[in-house]
Each structure stands twice: as C-alpha cells, then as structure tokens.
Amino acid sequence: MEQEEFELSYQELSPACEAILFASGDPIAVDRIAEILNVDVKTVDEVMKKLISEYESNPWGGLLVRKVENSYVMSTKPSMKKVLERMFSPKMHPPLSQASYETLAVIAYNQPVTRAQVESVRGVSSDSIISRLIDRGWIEECGNLDAPGRPALFKTSKQFLMEFGISSVDDLPSMELMSYQTIRDLEESLEKAAGNDDRQITIEGYMEKEETSEIEDIDDGEHN
C-alpha cells in the first residue's frame, strides 16, 4: 500500500515547525524536521529563521526559538530566569566551585578530551568534578580515544549550549583573553550572551581588569 502524499503550503510550514518544537521539548535535528514536513533542509532553515525573529521581537512572550548546532529547540527567554528559579527552587543545583568551572573550561575549549588530558592541564585529579559536570548535564561521553586502555572522551553537551544560551562552542568567549583567575566569570559571560549582549571579552576590558588587580596587589603590599 502506497503512503499518502504529504505536502503543506509554505504558509502552513511555520505553524507546523512551531508545533513540532513544542511537542518535542528537546532539540530536534533539522534533518528530522525536514523529513517530517517532507521539505528540504534549506526550507526548514528559512522558516525557522523567521520564527526565531518573531519570537525574539515579541515583548509579550516568554519563549524563544533557538538553533543549537544542527538542531532547533523552543526554550524560555533569559529574562524568565528568576521566575523559573522560583518555580524550580527546591530542585536547583548548588553553585559550582572554581575548580568545576576550570574543568568545564578545559573541556569546552579542548574537546573532545580524556580525564588524563584534563588533569594534565589542571595539574590535579578531576574525576569527581567530571562526574559532577556529567550529573549537571553539561558534559557527556563521546567515544573513546584510540590508545592503550581506550580512555573515554568528553565534550560539552547540548544541555550546556541550551543553558548558557549559545548555538555552538564557536560562540564561546575568546579563551586567549581569559585566565583561571577569572574563569568563574564564564557562566556570567555566557548568560550575557544569551541576553544578546556582546559575547566577546574585550581586550580593553580584560587589560583594565588586570591593571586594577596589579594596583590592588601593590597597595596591599605597601600596607603590609
């Protein structure tokens, strides 16, 4: 028995994409959306681009349509963070430590990496921290290194991209302008990116922060 031909008009594609994103909940690959709608990927990207613009420009809505790597997802606006924190406050995760952010940064900027590679950068054991990051949903295993023992490889997850409001790891702040003294600011900088603020840490801002730190160190030395 032949399958019935499925075809939507161009005007019907936008609400269809919206319905798919709402029903999915999780990021859904553009290829899968194209398959469902019986159209090509380029058409899906065009429709999604319009949806993204419509949701972003709607001051009365609390939702966004976002692209995450080669997938699309419906999510809440960053401005709704405090509301959702109140809603989910009993289940909120405790803040991560400085060491956790260091480990997350090492993985994010060097992925995929093994535990040993992370530890070679940090200089200390990172087993428990990597486990916490996996529990948080920010990193995941992505295969094994072709080496003796076949150690597991880790990379950041789609959940990491979603929570920090970026489309891909290419949108991460420039690592050359960051140091482990400021690595805790990674979360704040990415949250600003989610709110359409400038994703890059500027050279001027970075140097000003470093100069201020040096002056404070000198002043402390003189007082001591």
Q: What are the tens digits of pLDDT across the range 136-153?
A: 888 898 888 888 888 889
Per-residue pLDDT reduced to its tens digit, 170-207: 777 765 544 434 444 555 555 554 454 433 333 334 33
Which pTM value belongs to this model? Answer: 0.52
Task: Determine the Cα–Cα distance for residues 109 and 172; give it in Å rounded to an integer.
Answer: 8
Question: Cα dihedral sign for 147, 152, 158, 160?
Answer: negative
| Domain range list for the chain | 10-77, 98-206
Residues 82 and 29: beta-carbon distance below 8 Å: no
Question: Which of the residue ranges 10-24, 39-53, 208-222 would you say has the lowest mean pLDDT?
Answer: 208-222
Fold of 10-77: Arc Repressor Mutant, subunit A (1.10.10)
Is residue 173 within 8 Å of 186, Cβ to Cβ? yes
Q: Which CATH architecture has domain 98-206?
A: Orthogonal Bundle (1.10)
